[in-house]
C-alpha cells in the first residue's frame, strides 16, 4: 500500500443535488475534479451527467472520505471499478455513505443499468440507499451487510422494475454483483479469531487489525486501506505525535519524526489551504483560536483578546441544510471575518436587500443572484469564484483580495460587468493548475474609463 506522497488526492464537493445550469460545464467540472485522482478528501457527488459522457476517469478513485452520491444521471454504467472504501466521515442526509437514486431519463428508455463497484468492500460509517433507478440491474443481489461495518446503519436497496425480470446479465456483471470476487476479502469466511477481514479461511490468514477493506497478507503494510491512518504505507492507530516520553529523563521531548494527521493520512506538512491545530491539519481554527503564520506555517493559537468571528458557510454546521443565502439566514453572516465553507447566492435566495459583510472565505463564492441596487462586490477575499448571469453587477472591486488558494474563477453572461479584464487573476492563484474562465460579459469597449476602472487598475498594480 503506497504512502501519501505517492497518492494523488483531490477535494470533494458539498453541493448535494445543486448543479450548474450548463450541463456541459457540469461534466467538465466533474472531470477536472477527479481525473487522475485516487483519494477524494470529502464527498464524491456525481449528479446531472448526461448519457454517453466518457466517465472512465472515475476508475482511478480508490477511496472516498465522505459520502458517495450518484443521482439524476442518464448514463448506463458507473465506472467506480477501483473504489475500495467509503469512510463516511460525512453522510448524505445524515444517514447514507452511499446514495444512488433517480438515475434515468423520465421521458426516455435509458438510465443507470449497472453498478461498477467491483472492489467496494468496506463502508466504515453510514448506510446505503439505492432506489428509483428504473433500469438498474442486480443492485439488490450485492451482499451489502458484509460491506457495511456498522450493523445498525440504515440499508435501503429497492429492486428496480428491471431486477429479476428484463435484466440480462452482462459478461462481467454476474459474478461481481453476487460478490464471488469478495470471497477472498469477505468477513463471512474468516476464522472466529479474526478481528475483521482475512485473506483466507485460517487463523493465520487474518488481516492486521488496522486494515480496512481486506488485505493481501497479515502485516500492517498489506492492507488495501487503513481503518485509522496511513503512515507511509503502514496502517497505524495514530500518527507519530509531536512529543514522546523519555523514560530515562522522565520528560516529554520533541519527536523529530512527528507528523500531522490529514484525513486518514500522516503527513510531514499540511496542504497549503489548511492550518495546523495541535498535531492536525484543519480547514479553519476553532472559535477560541485565531490563525497566524509563523515560519511560513499557518497555525491556530489561542486568542489573546476577542477572537475574529467565524461563521458557518452554506451547507456547513448550523447551515448544513441551507442551499443559499436568504432572508432566513442572512443575519448569521453579519460581522463575520471568516466563513468556514461556501457562500452561495442563488436566484431563489436574495432579492432587494443585502448586508455589509467582511468575509475571507475558506470555501467558494457562488453568485447567481444579486440585489438590483448593488452594483459591485466590495468586500470578498480568499475564495474560488463563480458569477453567472448577473444583470446588475457592473464592477467587482475586490479591494482586499490577495489570494485564491484553490479552485478556478468562472465568470460568464454578466451583461453589465466591466473591468474584469483589468484584474491579473494569475497573480492571485496559488497553484499552476488554476484557471480563469471569463466570457460573454460586457464588451470592454463599452465600459467607460471612470473612477471605478482606474481604481481597479490601481488595485491590480498594487497586487503585483
pLDDT tens per residue across span 8-28: 999 899 889 988 778 998 999
Q: Given this model, what pLDDT does residue 323 score?
A: 76
For residue 25, which of 396, 374, 366 has the smallest C-alpha distance?
Answer: 366
Q: What is the spatial distance between Cα 363 and Cα 356, in angstroms, rounded to a whole number? A: 19
- Strand segments (E) across 72-150: 77-78, 85-86, 96-101, 114-115, 122-123, 127-131
Burial of 337 (0-12, 13-18, 19+ CB in 10 A): middle
Residues with Cβ within 8 Å of residue 305, at least 6 apart in sequence: none
For residues 233 and 211, the answer to whether their CB atoms sit within 8 Å is no
Q: Given this model, what pLDDT does residue 162 score?
A: 63
Q: Taking the CA atoms of the chain, what radius of gyration do you get in angstroms?
A: 25
Q: Which cell is 88 given?
A: 463516511
Largest CA distance in the chain: 80
For residue 225, which of 120, 330, 107 has the smallest C-alpha distance?
Answer: 120
pTM of the model: 0.71
Q: Which cell is 394 given?
A: 457592473
Element (H, E) at 411: strand 409-412
Burial of 141 (0-12, 13-18, 19+ CB in 10 A): middle
Looking at the chain, the domain(s) classified CATH 2.10.220.10 span 203-302
Pairing of strands 310-312, 338-340: parallel
Q: Given this model, what pLDDT does residue 331 score?
A: 83
Positions in the chain whose pLDDT score sits under 70: 1-6, 161-166, 168-186, 346-384, 448-464
Q: Given this model, what pLDDT does residue 459 score?
A: 46
Q: Given this model, what pLDDT does residue 368 score?
A: 47
Q: Which cell is 157 given?
A: 436497496
Q: Given this model, what pLDDT does residue 413 score?
A: 86
For residues 129 and 154, the answer to whether their CB atoms sit within 8 Å is yes
Looking at the chain, the domain(s) classified CATH 3.80.20.20 span 9-157, 309-447
Pairing of strands 260-262, 265-267: antiparallel
Instruction: Tell me which DSSP letter residue 104 carries.
Output: B
Q: What is the pLDDT of residues 389-437, one digit of tens each?
A: 777 778 877 777 778 877 788 888 888 888 888 888 888 888 888 888 8
For residues 382 and 362, the answer to whether their CB atoms sit within 8 Å is yes
Q: Given this model, what pLDDT does residue 328 score?
A: 85
Q: Given this model, what pLDDT does residue 210 score?
A: 96
CATH T-level topology, domain 309-447: 24 nucleotide stem-loop, u2 snrnp hairpin iv. U2 a'; Chain A (3.80.20)
- Strand segments (E) across 114-233: 114-115, 122-123, 127-131, 155-157, 211-215, 223-226, 229-231
Which residues are bridge partners to 364 per DSSP? 384
Which residues are bridge partners to 92 per DSSP? 96
Q: What is the spatial distance between Cα 133 and Cα 113, in angstroms, rounded to a whole number? A: 8
Which residues are bridge partners to 236 per DSSP? 229
420: three-class secondary structure by DSSP: helix
- What is the chain's length? 464
Element (H, E) at 236: strand 234-236
The CATH superfamily label for domain 9-157 reads: Receptor L-domain (3.80.20.20)
398: three-class secondary structure by DSSP: coil
Q: What is the spatial distance between Cα 1 and Cα 397, in angstroms, rounded to a whole number? A: 49
Architecture of domain 203-302: Ribbon (2.10)
Residues with Cβ within 8 Å of residue 445, at least 6 apart in sequence: none
Q: Given this model, what pLDDT does residue 95 score?
A: 96
For residues 383 and 404, the answer to whether their CB atoms sit within 8 Å is yes
Amino acid at each position: 500500500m503506497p504512502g501519501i506522497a505517492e497518492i494523488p488526492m483531490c477535494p470533494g464537493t458539498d453541493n448535494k443535488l445543486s448543479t450548474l445550469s450548463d450541463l456541459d460545464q457540469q461534466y467538465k467540472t466533474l472531470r477536472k475534479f477527479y481525473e487522475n485522482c485516487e483519494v477524494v478528501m470529502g464527498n464524491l457527488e456525481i449528479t446531472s451527467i448526461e448519457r454517453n459522457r466518457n466517465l472512465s476517469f472515475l476508475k482511478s478513485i480508490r477511496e472516498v472520505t465522505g459520502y458517495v452520491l450518484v443521482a439524476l444521471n442518464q448514463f448506463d454504467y458507473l465506472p467506480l471499478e477501483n473504489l475500495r472504501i467509503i469512510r463516511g466521515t460525512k453522510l448524505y442526509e445524515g444517514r447514507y455513505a452511499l446514495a444512488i437514486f433517480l438515475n434515468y431519463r423520465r421521458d426516455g428508455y435509458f438510465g443507470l443499468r449497472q453498478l461498477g463497484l467491483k472492489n467496494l468492500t468496506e463502508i466504515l460509517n453510514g448506510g446505503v440507499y439505492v432506489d428509483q433507478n428504473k433500469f438498474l440491474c442486480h443492485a439488490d443481489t450485492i451482499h451489502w451487510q458484509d460491506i457495511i461495518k456498522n450493523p445498525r446503519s440504515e440499508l435501503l436497496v429497492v429492486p428496480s422494475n428491471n431486477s429479476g425480470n428484463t435484466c440480462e446479465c452482462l459478461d462481467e456483471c454476474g459474478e461481481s454483483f453476487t460478490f464471488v470476487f469478495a470471497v477472498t476479502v469477505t468477513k463471512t469466511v474468516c476464522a472466529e479469531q479474526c478481528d475483521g477481514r482475512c485473506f483466507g479461511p485460517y487463523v493465520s490468514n487474518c488481516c492486521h487489525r488496522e486494515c480496512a477493506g481486506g488485505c493481501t497478507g497479515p502485516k500492517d503494510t498489506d492492507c488495501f486501506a487503513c481503518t485509522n491512518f496511513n503512515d507511509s504505507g503502514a496502517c497505524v492507530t495514530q500518527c507519530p505525535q509531536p512529543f514522546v516520553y523519555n523514560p530515562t529523563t522522565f520528560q516529554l521531548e520533541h519527536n523529530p519524526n512527528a507528523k500531522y494527521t490529514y484525513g486518514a493520512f500522516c503527513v510531514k506538512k499540511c496542504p497549503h489551504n489548511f492550518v495546523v491545530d495541535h498535531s492536525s491539519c484543519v480547514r479553519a481554527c476553532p472559535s477560541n483560536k485565531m490563525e497566524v503564520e509563523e515560519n511560513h506555517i499557518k497555525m491556530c493559537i489561542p486568542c489573546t483578546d476577542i477572537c475574529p468571528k467565524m461563521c458557518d458557510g452554506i451547507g456547513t454546521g448550523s447551515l448544513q441544510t441551507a442551499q443559499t443565502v436568504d432572508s432566513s439566514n442572512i443575519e448569521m453572516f453579519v460581522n463575520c471575518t471568516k466563513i468556514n465553507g461556501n457562500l452561495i447566492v442563488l436566484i431563489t435566495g436574495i432579492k432587494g436587500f443585502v448586508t455589509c459583510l467582511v468575509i475571507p472565505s475558506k470555501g467558494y463564492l457562488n453568485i447567481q443572484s444579486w440585489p438590483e441596487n448593488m452594483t459591485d462586490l466590495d468586500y470578498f477575499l480568499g475564495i474560488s469564484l463563480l458569477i453567472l448571469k448577473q444583470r446588475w453587477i457592473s464592477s467587482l472591486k475586490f479591494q482586499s483580495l490577495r489570494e485564491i488558494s484553490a479552485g478556478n474563477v468562472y465568470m460568464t453572461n454578466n451583461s453589465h460587468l466591466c473591468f474584469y479584464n483589468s484584474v491579473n487573476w494569475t497573480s492571485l492563484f496559488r497553484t499552476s493548475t488554476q484557471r480563469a474562465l471569463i466570457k460573454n460579459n460586457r464588451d470592454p469597449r463599452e465600459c467607460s474609463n471612470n473612477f471605478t476602472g482606474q481604481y481597479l487598475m490601481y488595485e491590480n498594480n498594487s497586487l503585483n
